[in-house]
Structure 1
């Protein structure tokens, strides 16, 4: 470990010691990456040995698809994505891939008089809303799920992501699993041909668009939805139970996932069918080059990610995310040692 940290120190006290770690991120993970970057600098300022105070993390929230595409640029050290690549794809591109934080996507609506977490929706109803088959909030299919709520005779304004997004992949996978019509007509991907609605760029753009329009519906990372003050809905899971989005539900879902380092941790938490599972649970994955970055640059990035795993739990929880379980965090570090240049010295 001392040798590895010495290499990091040497890389950072050289003439380019103020050079930041550069990442291209999903908008889902943008708030926690930003918080970790600030915490990392504070932590290094207190300890003072390895990272200069102005050599933090330079990140750009461009969506999961954009983040992966920009990883090909020589100045980018890592990408964060909520849409993991298959093991075949990571092998083809020479990339390492591993989870760094957990969270979830919540349906978000702009409705007066409804408390957050009271509205109940199913994948089939959500699919019919996005297909245009259900276009008013007092439709019988919605009223049947919510007999105790006074839902208005109000047009539903559909909002979707316009950029390539892991949030969209999580959302459309759920709709495809629960609606044969959605599966056949639209399918699941980071970008799809939306049947209706207005496009919004990024999670913040999604929330702003929903906030502007009474009766609107969209989907976004739960912590950002919660901080926006907008109404979020319960969702019926694959076991038939309605589950409220939140850290406890995300954590319970993640514990049921089989995370396999040999498959570059490729997994979809949305497939879990346990009784308490939340079907729109998601993980943010980090992707890094195995061969095309120097050992010093790789170790700098891993040192930041070590901070995230070891000391960033409170920041993650405060923002509505879920830190990796201890055993999964340990498996990720073992994967670094086996897969990345200099990782064996961590």
Structure 2
């Protein structure tokens, strides 16, 4: 095993965790043939096959299970080593690993700007993924902090709200409802909706609102990104509900408008999440404190102040 490289172990661990060469390649930004080659070379070093294919499913062999357990122990020790070194260096040098859900890409980069200017020696790795992938990373404790709009309810994690994330109704600016006031939910229910994929936090919140009123949400089109939804709205395909933060870069000439509808905005929040009991490095703790103490102010200063006044932040909670 002394001939095995750390890179090969990382590739193997990703394949074993996902039970998929394809998903491991996506996570590691490698081609699938490269991932397969690395696993094949590692199998030669071990002297036994690490995976077996049954039908279309991939399974770990006994040797693979042993190596996977060993890899997790190695990477956990390395993570502890990184924390210790970061603490020794203080805030002069080090790294910060963040995993955020897709919509947070409109928020976190703006908040990172002033933080990185304050601490120029810190290297930041920002991973943007859908809710499911971020939760997978959280379960595996692969990052320092996680930013979510829908914290998990079935995991032992610490949860801290730090910034409002209101959901608003968006329509084409020439839509018949664009100039109406206090539009009823019943009237909105007559419109075709363009929504994120089933399972997304935004869609669940909207579905819950309509269900509570006994109304049917007519989803005409499912799209996997907020930008695609905004383009579809501009194309006149329907209306949608998105985070207000998705409008951050829209100017006065935007083809989109926010509808004045009852029960909106739906008040939600951005949360900092990490495994309960996790020892945060000095860098992660400093960024955590920065978000909790300065996050809202920085967001208002770097975006549009008048669109953030949608209520007060709830008390922090832990689960």
> TM-score, structure 2 length as denominator?
0.60
Q: Distance in 1 between matches of 2:179 and 2:93?
A: 45
Question: Does residue 282 in structure 1 map to residue 275 in structure 2?
Answer: no
Q: How does 1:243-262 map to 2 (within 5 A)?
A: none
Q: 1:37 to 1:120 in 2, by over 3 A?
A: same
Q: Distance in 2 between matches of 1:97 and 1:122?
A: 34
Q: Distance in 1 between matches of 2:140 and 2:261?
A: 39
Q: 1:163 to 1:62 in 2, by over 3 A?
A: farther
Q: 1:104 to 1:117 in 2, by over 3 A?
A: farther
Aligned-partner SS, 1:197: strand
Per-residue CA shift, 1:77-96, capped at 9, x if unaligned?
2222222333xx2xxx3211
The counterpart of 1:313, out of the listed 292, 296, 306, is: 296
Alpha-carbon shift at residue 280 of structure 1 (Å): 1.0
* Alpha carbons 2:191, 2:239 under 8 Å: kept: no
Alpha-carbon shift at residue 288 of structure 1 (Å): 0.4
Per-residue CA shift, 1:294-345, capped at 9, x if unaligned?
x253x432311211232333331143574999985xx54xx78xx9xxxxxx
Bigger radius of gyration among the two = 2
Unaligned runs of at least 5 residues, structure 1: 1-6, 46-51, 131-157, 187-194, 238-277, 340-346
Q: Distance in 2 between matches of 1:234 and 1:326?
A: 20
Alpha-carbon shift at residue 111 of structure 1 (Å): 4.0
How well do the aligned residues superpose, as a CA RMSD in angstroms? 3.6
Alpha-carbon shift at residue 174 of structure 1 (Å): 1.7
Question: Does residue 34 in structure 1 map to residue 101 in structure 2?
Answer: no
Unaligned runs of at least 5 residues, structure 2: 1-81
Question: Does residue 77 in structure 1 map to residue 144 in structure 2?
Answer: yes
> TM-score, structure 1 length as denominator?
0.56
* Alpha carbons 2:191, 2:238 under 8 Å: kept: no
* Alpha carbons 2:103, 2:243 under 8 Å: kept: yes
Per-residue CA shift, 1:95-119, capped at 9, x if unaligned?
1112121021111111427796756
